[in-house]
Amino acid sequence: MSSFVFRKGVLHAEKVPLPAIADAVGTPTYVYSTEALTRHFLAVSEAFAEARPLLCYSVKANSNLAILKLFAGLGGGFDIVSGGELARVKHAGGDPAKTVFAGVGKTAEEMEAALAAGILLFNVESAEELEALDAVGRRMGRRAPFALRVNPEVDARTHRYIATGLKTSKFGVPFEEAVELYARSRKMKGVRAAGLDCHIGSQLTQSAPLRAALTKVAGLYLALKAQKHALEYLDVGGGLGITYVDETPPSAAEYARVVCAATKDTGARLVLEPGRSLVGNAGVLLTRVLYRKQTPARRFAVVDAGMNDLLRPALYEAHHGFVPLVKRRGGKAVEVDVVGPVCESTDVLAKARSLVLPQAGELYAFLSAGAYGMSMASNYNSRPRPAEVLVDGEAWRVVRERERTEDLWRGERA
């Protein structure tokens, strides 16, 4: 089921024709579906109904305030990786007490702000970070609740840039070090052990790596409990994949079965960190064709969206579907590279696609663009970032205005 469908040859978001948004707001523009966001959140929530976990949406996937507010209204918590993301969560009405703070490079200032806000957990990733958190807790007269992120050394079978559970990763600590750090934490006055954390990577499309990792982590959780550590939470991470081309990731129900089966004997309160699976297929990026270009070797369609707007193809060689907003009848398909205006050879958004040759002025959409699209957008080449629009049934509204040229140098001094 998709919230983006063709009706009488015109691509719609729910009941809104996308050309109407493009004409009113301009391009490039991200468009999100309230129905899809809600449906994806509830699918995970209902699949885990018996376990009653805390669903902490991974803010880095898409941090728009309207999306954060929507998930908070559905009862969701949040997984953050910076002080800025914490500020966004609070501004959107999210509950800090349902928030976990991950990431390998938390500053003392970020720790202080998060502890003052009363977050649920700090997911700690190194011995020195634990010592820094202890110092912050002692200085503030509080015990910061923490979970160590452990590295199970399991291959997530995903892109090497988003695999985080291997021993070569910068994330997490080995099991043996974790046991020693939990023991050391007993003597620290500024922290308290509240849980255990594991996250092996993003865009997971197979159950086996997740099952293997969580089985190992559940065993460690039980061993730590046997050592009288007062653990309550088991954070199983996120990373469930979506379909970009022909991937067949586990359904929410299968995901729940795997997680619950691996952790059922721990008695822990589960914490989940879904991100891409909630927002990825709930958004598209609208763009307009500027020019066509033919060389002896390639045929190009130049569009007004660039790698600064959608970085994933340049960063990961990621595939996003590319479809016209209005279907054309007939026409022979040819091989086309869809490229942006950024002055980089890597600014190729769709390579070697079989398309009816796009026409100048024609509107298209990059599909499955709700995750790591706008959140990775930049002002490279001094390009203002896109607008963002949220659709709800027949209604739609701008939830982030397009940046203006003068926004590009706000805060600078000549």
- Section 236-248 average pLDDT: 88
Greater model confidence, 140 or 1: 140
Q: Determine whether the annotation assigns residue 312 to a binding site.
A: yes
Q: Determine whether the annotation assigns residue 344 to a binding site.
A: yes
Quick one: 189 and 313 in the same domain? no
Quick one: 256 and 289 in the same domain? no
Give the per-residue pLDDT at 168: 62
Give Cβ neighbours of residue 368 (< 8 Å, ≥ 6 apart): 242, 243, 244, 280, 281, 283, 284, 320, 321
Q: Determine whether the annotation assigns residue 299 to a binding site.
A: no
Is residue 211 in a domain? Answer: yes
Is residue 113 in a domain? Answer: yes
- Section 261-277 average pLDDT: 95
Quick one: 227 and 110 in the same domain? yes
Q: Determine whether the annotation assigns residue 129 to a binding site.
A: no
- Section 269-286 average pLDDT: 97
Instruction: Give 155's pLDDT tier (boundaries 50, 70, 90).
Output: low
Taking the CA atoms of the chain, what radius of gyration do you get in angstroms? 23
- Section 369-395 average pLDDT: 98
Instruction: Give 157's pLDDT tier (boundaries 50, 70, 90).
Output: very low
Exposure string of 371-391, with b = 16+ CB inside 10 Å and e = fewer, is bbbbbbbeeeeebbbbbbbbb
Q: Are strands 191-197 and 233-238 parallel, antiparallel or unpaired?
A: parallel
Give the per-residue pLDDT at 223: 95
Is residue 134 in a domain? Answer: yes
Query: What is the percentage of the chain residues whose pLDDT exceeds 90?
Result: 85
Is residue 312 in a domain? Answer: yes
Quick one: 160 and 250 in the same domain? yes
What single DSSP character describes residue 168? T
Is residue 132 in a domain? Answer: yes
Q: Which residues are catalytic?
A: 343
CATH code assigned at 392: 2.40.37.10
Would you say residue 214 has pLDDT above 50? Answer: yes
Q: Determine whether the annotation assigns residue 239 to a binding site.
A: yes
This prediction has a pTM of 0.94
Is residue 300 in a domain? Answer: yes
Quick one: 25 and 101 in the same domain? no
Quick one: 265 and 288 in the same domain? no
| 108-119 residue pLDDT tens | 999 999 999 999
As for how many domains the chain has, the answer is 2
Closest CA to 31 of 45, 12, 53: 12
Task: Look up the domain containing 216 and give its range.
Answer: 95-274
Is residue 68 in a domain? Answer: no
Q: Determine whether the annotation assigns residue 221 to a binding site.
A: no
Is residue 65 in a domain? Answer: no
Quick one: 248 and 320 in the same domain? no
